[in-house]
């Protein structure tokens, strides 16, 4: 099967278009965040401790920090946020088209090299964010999602770019398709989860210091975020939802490995880091149920786990060699 160069070129244009849309969205999110009236950090903490260490509180009601004084005639900050959300949708449609055309140009799923993985993963992040946005107002989160998306796309088109081409034989397997699809969805959601976790740490630090009356350098940011317990709950929910899928992704990879090399687990660097990532996320979930480890410590473990996930992608593919090194990194 030959490569359809025209489609591949159009795919590139769509990816560039998506980058443009996301860049403007980034500015919009930044403006909307800047225009937000921050909340008072201290009372949130008081309410939280009254609830009993903050863990009884519940948080499925939509986050409303963006509402309040902004109601009525749309002020500029809110309009910027709305435009940014629309551009997220536009960018994601363009990117989705780019991934689709890339696949069509080679007549297979577009997951054969790091360029293709990267644009797909960026798509995964954006989709995870948009799915969240359907259920609640997440404009406060927008900029912290669009920045990693732009980073991923930027590195993809600059130093990971690879011409469209056929696959090396080991990658031709439908278990691979399943495995990679699951991993890409996880990448997207874990990335959003990590952003929320970082924001939790910021809000948490802001609330603590406000309560103690001490200054905080990120105070301007903490004040614009939802209460820390809500962020914590959101981060947990994302991770809890994704961990079974990540487990499935690892198992699907093992089934593929069994088919390709005759053993389902061989401690190849990629497999080793998938294992490390899995254990790290399990440790995060465990920590959340362990006295003395909830909250900040668990959050840090969650971030370490995401670090392992990223390392498995960038570090292992580029630094360490193994059976998994793909054609055309």
Partner 1 sequence: MTDLRDDALPDSNDAYGLAPDDRAPDDRVGDVGGRVDGVADDGVRDDRVRDDGVRDDLAPDGDARRMSTAPAEVDASAAIGIGVLGWLRWAWRTLTSMRTALVLLFLLALASVPGSIFPQRGTNPIAVTQYIADDPSRGRFMDRLGLFDVFASPWFAAIYLLLFVSLAGCVLPRSLAHWRIVRSRPPAAPRHLTRLPEHRTLSSDATPQQVLDDAAEWLRKNRWRVDTERYDGARAGAVAAEKGYARETGNLVFHVALLVLLAAVGLGSLGGFRGTVILREGSSFANTRAQFDSFNPGKVFDDSSLPPFSFTLKKFTADYQRGGQQDGAAREFSADITLTRTPGAAPESQRVEVNEPLVVDGVKVFLVGHGYAPSITVKNPAGEVVFRDSVVFLPQDGNFSSTGVVKVPDSTPQLGLKGFFLPTAAVDDVRGPHSTFPAADDPAVFLSLWSGDLGLDNGRPQSVYKLDTTAMTRLGLEALRPGETWTLPDGLGTATFDGYLEWASFSVAHDPGKELALLASVVAITGLALSLLVRRRRVWVRVSNDGAGVTVVEIAGLTRSEHTTVTDEVDELTRHLAGRATSAATTPPGA
For 291, counting Cβ atoms within 10 Å of its Cβ (0-12 exposed, 13-18 middle, 19+ buried), the class is exposed
| Contact stretch for ligand HEM (CB under 6 A) within 113-121, 221-229, 230-238, 283-291 | 283-291
Give the shortest CB-236-to-ligand HEM separation in angstroms. Answer: 9
Give the shortest CB-191-to-ligand HEM separation in angstroms. Answer: 20
Which among 141, 167, 291 is positioned nearest to 230, based on CA atoms? Answer: 141
Task: Give me the residues that bind partner 1 (CB under 8 A), please.
Answer: 3, 51-53, 55-60, 162-163, 165-170, 172-173, 233, 236-237, 240-241, 243-244, 247-248, 251, 254-256, 258-269, 272-273, 275-276, 279-280, 282-283, 285-294, 308, 316, 320, 322-323, 327-328
Tokens of 30: 């930044």
Residue 264 binds what, of partner 1, ligand HEM, none (CB under 5 to 8 Å, by partner type)?
partner 1
Please name the residue that has the structure tokens 């090396």.
168
Residue 1 or residue 289: which is nearer to ligand HEM going by CB? 289
Distances (CA, A) of 166 to 99, 113, 182, 242: 15, 10, 22, 31
| Contact stretch for ligand HEM (CB under 6 A) within 50-58, 85-93, 101-109, 282-290 | 282-290
Residue 27 or residue 260: which is nearer to partner 1 going by CB? 260
Residue 86 binds what, of ligand HEM, partner 1, none (CB under 5 to 8 Å, by partner type)?
none
Which among 78, 88, 154 is positioned nearest to 119, based on CA atoms? Answer: 154
Tokens of 202: 């910021």
Q: What DSSP assignment string belongs to 170-199?
A: GG--HHHHHHHHHHHHHHHHHHHHHHHHHH
Helix/strand/coil percentages in the chain, nearest 5? 75, 0, 25
Give the shortest CB-178-to-ligand HEM separation in angstroms. Answer: 22
Residue 1 sits in the site that holds ligand HEM (CB under 6 A): no
HSE of 3, CA atoms in CB hemisphere, 13 A? 12
Distances (CA, A) of 160 to 16, 155, 177, 191: 15, 6, 21, 20
Residue 273 binds what, of ligand HEM, partner 1, none (CB under 5 to 8 Å, by partner type)?
partner 1
Give the shortest CB-57-to-partner 1 separation in angstroms. Answer: 7
Residue 73 or residue 289: which is nearer to partner 1 going by CB? 289
Residue 47 or residue 212: which is nearer to partner 1 going by CB? 47
Residue 255 binds what, of partner 1, ligand HEM, none (CB under 5 to 8 Å, by partner type)?
partner 1
- Which of 221, 245, 255, 282 binds ligand HEM (CB under 6 A)? It is 282
Residue 285 sits in the site that holds ligand HEM (CB under 6 A): yes
Residue 104 binds what, of ligand HEM, partner 1, none (CB under 5 to 8 Å, by partner type)?
none
Give the shortest CB-48-to-partner 1 separation in angstroms. Answer: 12
Residue 289 sits in the site that holds ligand HEM (CB under 6 A): yes
Residue 73 binds what, of partner 1, ligand HEM, none (CB under 5 to 8 Å, by partner type)?
none
CA distance 186 to 302: 14
Residue 286 sits in the site that holds ligand HEM (CB under 6 A): yes
CA distance 315 to 287: 26
Q: Give how many residues touch ligand HEM by CB under 6 A.
A: 5
Is 1 strand, coil or helix?
coil
Residue 117 or residue 229: which is nearer to ligand HEM going by CB? 229
Sign for the pseudo-dihedral over CA of 293, 298, 304, 310: positive
C-beta of residue 189 within 8 angstroms of C-beta of residue 128: yes
Tokens of 150: 């732009």
CA distance 191 to 204: 20
C-beta of residue 122 within 8 angstroms of C-beta of residue 163: no
Contacting residues toward ligand HEM, per CB under 6 A: 243, 282, 285-286, 289
């Amino acid at each position: 099967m030959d490569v359809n160069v025209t489609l591949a070129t159009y795919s590139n244009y769509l990816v560039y278009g998506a980058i443009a849309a996301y860049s403007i969205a980034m500015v919009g999110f930044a403006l909307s965040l800047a225009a937000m009236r921050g909340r008072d950090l201290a009372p949130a903490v008081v309410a939280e401790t009254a609830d009993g260490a903050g863990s009884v509180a519940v948080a499925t009601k939509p986050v409303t920090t963006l509402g309040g004084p902004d109601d009525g005639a749309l002020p500029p900050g809110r309009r910027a946020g709305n435009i940014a959300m629309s551009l997220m949708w536009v960018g994601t449609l363009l990117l989705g088209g780019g991934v689709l055309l890339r696949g069509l140009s080679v007549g297979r799923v577009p997951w054969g090299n790091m360029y293709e993985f990267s644009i797909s993963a960026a798509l995964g992040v954006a989709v995870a964010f948009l799915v969240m946005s359907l259920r609640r107002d997440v404009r406060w989160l927008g900029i912290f999602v669009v920045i990693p998306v732009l980073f991923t796309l930027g590195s993809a088109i600059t130093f990971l770019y690879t011409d469209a081409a056929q696959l090396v034989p080991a990658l031709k397997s439908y278990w691979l398709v399943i495995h990679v699809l699951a991993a890409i969805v996880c990448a997207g959601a874990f990335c959003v989860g990590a952003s929320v976790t970082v924001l939790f740490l910021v809000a948490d630090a802001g609330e603590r210091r406000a309560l103690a009356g001490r200054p905080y350098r990120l105070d301007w940011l903490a004040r614009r975020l939802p209460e820390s317990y809500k962020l914590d709950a959101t981060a947990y929910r994302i991770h809890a939802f994704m961990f079974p899928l990540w487990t499935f992704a690892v198992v699907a990879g093992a089934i593929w490995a069994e088919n390709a090399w005759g053993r389902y687990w061989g401690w190849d660097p990629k497999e080793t880091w998938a294992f490390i990532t899995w254990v790290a996320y399990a440790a995060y979930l465990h920590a959340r149920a362990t006295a003395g480890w909830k909250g900040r410590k668990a959050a840090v473990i969650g971030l370490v786990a995401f670090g392992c996930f990223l390392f498995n992608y960038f570090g292992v593919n580029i630094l360490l060699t193994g059976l998994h090194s793909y054609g055309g990194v």
